[in-house]
Amino acid sequence: MNINRRQFIKYSAAAFAMLLLDKGPALAAPDQGVERWVKGVCRYCGTGCGVMVGVRDNKVVMVKGDPNNHNRGMLCLKGALLPSVVHAPDRLTQPLIRKEGKLTPASWDEALDLTAAKFKEAMAQFGAQSVGFYGSGQNLTEESYLANKIFKGGLKCNNVDGNPRLCMASAVGGYVTTFGKDEPFGSYEDLDAATCFFIIGSNTSECHPVLFRRIAARKQNDKNVRVIVVDPRVTNTARIADMHLAIRPGTDLALLNAMAHIILNEELDEPRFHSKYAAFKAVEDGKPVDKTFEDYRAFLAEYTPEKAAEITGIPAAAIVKAAQLFASSSATMSLWCMGLNQRVRGVWANNLVHNLHLLTGKLGRPGSTSFSLTGQPNACGGVRDTGSLAHLLPAGRVVANKDHRNQMEALWGLPPDSLHPDPGLFATALFGALGEKVKALLVLCTNPAQSLPNVKKYTQNLRHPGKFMAVIEAFGDAETLKYADVVFPAAFWCEREGVYGCSERRYSLLEKAIDPPGQARPSVNILVDLATRMGVDPKFVPFKNSAEVWDEWRTVSASSAYNFKGMTRERLRKTSGLLWPCPTEDHPGTKIRYVRGEDPNVPADHPDKYFFYGNPNGRATIWLRPHKPAAEEPDAEYPLVMTTGRVIDQWHTGTMTNKVPEIRAAFPNAYVEINVEDAKRLNINNGDSVLVETRRGKLTLPARVGEVCRPGLIFTPFFDAKKLVNELTVDAIDDISKQPEFKICAARIARA
């Protein structure tokens, strides 16, 4: 497809409008002489749209939506333009080794042997905790499971983390602390039944466009549907809202507690639900303690609408109205993403959204659910479910629990008490230790040199002379390659087969459509080769391909509440995905969890309709979590709040979307969005070069002046490798989830 910047922006706008109008794909490209169609999953966001990949002469020539998957044939422009990414000119086609400062072509044996030798040397000299693995929510489930097994089970090293720590860890913490198990309660079908959408900390229209289309369609087709959007920016999501609450950044805890206060005061709660299915808890002196409903009511007493209005900047009447809409609708669905997760109180914010659902009983019925949206295509199915984070083991187990370790030892055929008992290093701690405590690191398909917060601090370590870093990567221009010692060329997307798990617990098979270029290989094979050369017993990693890894992972899952033993490769090939739990080959998958008759983990003869089997008392937890400010609040020196995020057509660090000529031409650069009042005060006009400074660095960016940001707030997207916006962000972390607070830091701006 060849279109210029003007046409692209026109298409982009048209696509957005069509999404709102509930029509088919806006960009109907002509058939490109496709020889065969292969079923797959989009490579980008956590929506996980099913795609049909059109192939001709071993090339992807076209991508269209899969009408049988949840997206019903719809795609956004990013998905439709994937062919340019697959065949980008800078694809890596042979291994590279850094020699005299330059990455130089090498043979597979040289690159594998050198990497294995460096890892073995580090472990021999400094022990197993001196190495590590950093993965991604974009890897296949099989790749994440295998890397986790190799490092935690084979090398006895728990330094296994990944970029979902930067985007989803607080959602995991929220689900686990409230319901006892990770992952959402409901499914995308709830979007079609909800009559009230409570969207907080999510610009769904740009970050999950195809899901947004369903919300917009609900609103267009049913006059009773209400949309509440809580966001300090007037995003395209906010533009369809009945109520847009332009909140002061970092004050959602006060808002959510005030909504609970109003719900109780106006008796809009559902006592039959929360008295039976919820328990109340708070943390005191660092320990969870039981509380009563009356304790909770007393705790909420100070969160009056007026007090919350002072903290949040939202009028008290609007807070009251939002609480009333939430509680009185026939079905309320909450949706959130990075705006709640990338915060030092991210887990608490997640808990407080769940609280509202537990108080009002708006859970476990069509349209009533508390649903975290995921940023990446396989953060859920790949990293969260396989336990590929430093504190986790597969299928909801945790490293710190001896029983869980013993279960995994038995499943992996290891001697009892052989797994390392301590959690490993989480993302920022892992890169913070690089070169010192951690000597050798393997990175699989992610770009930490651009995506870590306060990134200059960590790139110093990436340059550390005492570190060795091997990177498995598909593209030659990722920022992280500047610091790699060895690079392995990876098969990309539909050049190999494997499973993706999207936000709704749906596992879908990405089938192999074409061969990888040059000497590029599937990451599963690279990992097996590396493991055996590092000394891992070949019987521990007997896999020739991802299908064999999947079969083992299915079996491992069968002893857990994540059970998807029934999802054979054959079934996944025939369907457009299944939702776990799915314990047997005739099970249809599970759309609603924790409900008798819906979730196979709830016994058919359980006396109660709901059973929160992840918690020892069988109840979900309503947490008493007070309002706390952000880690870095604005002050006289840095009077503004800076927030970062995505834009609709660029994705993450831009390594893929920048390969698409139309996207690159239309959205070439980062910019800074400034409220018109702030711009006027600072004498800044649209398009001016603006110096943006925080305590960690400064960047010059073109100004976009308007009314999208609320006064006092600036926004910058982080896709542009020429302008590393993460040099400015703060790396303060949530003390439960260890997720950094990308969304809020103090900044100042001036005309450059």
According to the binding rule CB under 6 A, does residue 79 interact with ligand SF4?
Answer: yes
Please answer whether residues 79 and 44 qualify as being in contact, where contact means their C-beta atoms are separated by less than 8 angstroms: yes
Residue where the block lists tokens 């720590």? 165
Instruction: Give the one residue of 15, 20, 45, 452 binding ligand SF4; rule: CB under 6 A.
Output: 45
Residues of this chain, 665-694, that bind ligand SF4 according to CB under 6 A: none
Q: Distance from first CA to last CA of the chain, Å, rounded?
A: 38
Instruction: Look up residue 382 and give its DSSP letter.
Output: I
Q: How much is the CA Rg of the chain, to the nearest whole Å?
A: 25
- Round to whole Å and give the CA distance between 400 and 398: 6
Stretch near ligand SF4 under the rule CB under 6 A, chosen from 39-47, 658-666, 697-705, 728-736: 39-47
Backbone dihedral region for residue 664 (phi beyond 0: left; psi -120 to 50: alpha; all else: beta):
alpha
3-state DSSP assignment of residue 275: helix
Q: What are phi and psi of 358, to 5 degrees?
A: -70, -40
Tell me the window of 69-77, 258-266, 279-287, 410-418 that interacts with ligand SF4 (CB under 6 A).
69-77
| Known catalytic membership, residue 376 | yes
Q: Is 78 a catalytic residue?
A: yes
Q: How far apart are CA 484 and CA 649, in angstroms?
A: 28
- Residue identified by tokens 């499914």 is 187
Nearest to 98 by CA among 480, 474, 447: 480
Among 15-23, 73-81, 620-628, 731-739, the segment contacting ligand SF4 (CB under 6 A): 73-81
Longest CA–CA span in the chain (Å) reads 71
Residue 408, both tokens: 């995994």
The site for ligand SF4, by CB under 6 A, has a size of: 14
Contact 184, 743 (CB under 8 A): no
Choices 70-78, 254-262, 324-332, 740-748 (CB under 6 A): range interacting with ligand SF4: 70-78
One residue of 26, 62, 76, 338 binding ligand SF4 per CB under 6 A: 76
Cβ-proximal residue to ligand SF4, closest one: 79
Q: Is 44 in the site for ligand SF4 (CB under 6 A)?
A: yes
Query: Is 656 an interacting residue with respect to ligand SF4 (CB under 6 A)?
Result: no
Catalytic residue among 129, 138, 342, 376: 376
Give the tokens for residue 535.
Answer: 């000394």
Which of these, 602, 396, 555, lies nearest to 404 by C-alpha position? 396
What mask, x for binding ligand SF4 by CB under 6 A, covers residues 161 to 200? ----------------------------------------
Contact 333, 146 (CB under 8 A): no
Interface residue with ligand SF4, options 12, 47, 342, 658 (CB under 6 A): 47
C-beta of 493: minimal distance to ligand SF4 in Å? 11
- Candidates 601, 164, 544; CA nearest to 386 is 164
Strands 468-473 and 713-717, bridge-based pairing: unpaired
Q: Which is nearer to ligand SF4, 240 or 255 (CB)?
A: 240
Contact with ligand SF4 (CB under 6 A) among 15, 19, 42, 172: 42
Tokens of 744: 């809020």
Residue 648 CB, nearest approach to ligand SF4 (Å):
9
User: Of 49, 74, 168, 259, which one is the catalytic site residue?
Assistant: 168
What burial class does residue 369 get, using C-beta atoms within 10 Å of its C-beta: 0-12 exposed, 13-18 middle, 19+ buried?
buried
Catalytic pick from 367, 375, 382, 396?
375
* Phi, psi (degrees; rounded to nearest 5) at 598: -115, -45
Question: Which residue's CB is nearer to ligand SF4, number 45 or number 340?
Answer: 45
Q: Which of residues 193-252 bind ligand SF4 (CB under 6 A)?
A: 208-210
Active site residue 168: yes
> Looking at beta carbons only, is 72 or 120 nearer to ligand SF4?
72
d(C-alpha 361, C-alpha 79), whole Å: 37
- Using DSSP, state whether 327 is helix, strand or coil: helix
Nearer to ligand SF4, 79 or 361 (CB): 79
Binding part of the chain for ligand SF4, among 15-23, 46-54, 183-191, 399-407 by CB under 6 A, reads 46-54
Quick check: 450 and 727 in contact, CB under 8 A? no
Catalytic residue among 39, 78, 512, 738: 78
- Which segments within 602-696 are labelled E, that is strand? 620-623, 640-645, 672-675, 689-694
**Among 45, 338, 582, 656, the one annotated catalytic:** 338
Q: Which is nearer to ligand SF4, 210 or 320 (CB)?
A: 210
Complex with ligand SF4: residue 78 or 521, whichever CB lies closer: 78
**For ligand SF4, the closer CB: 78 or 710:** 78
Which of 68-76, 482-490, 560-568, 626-634 is the region at the interface with ligand SF4 (rule: CB under 6 A)?
68-76
Say which of 74, 123, 167, 259 is annotated catalytic: 167
Measured from the CB atom, the residue of 20 and 76 that comes closer to ligand SF4 is 76
Give contact residues for ligand SF4 (rule: CB under 6 A): 42, 44-45, 47-49, 71, 75-76, 78-79, 208-210
Positions marked active-site: 78, 167-168, 338, 375-376
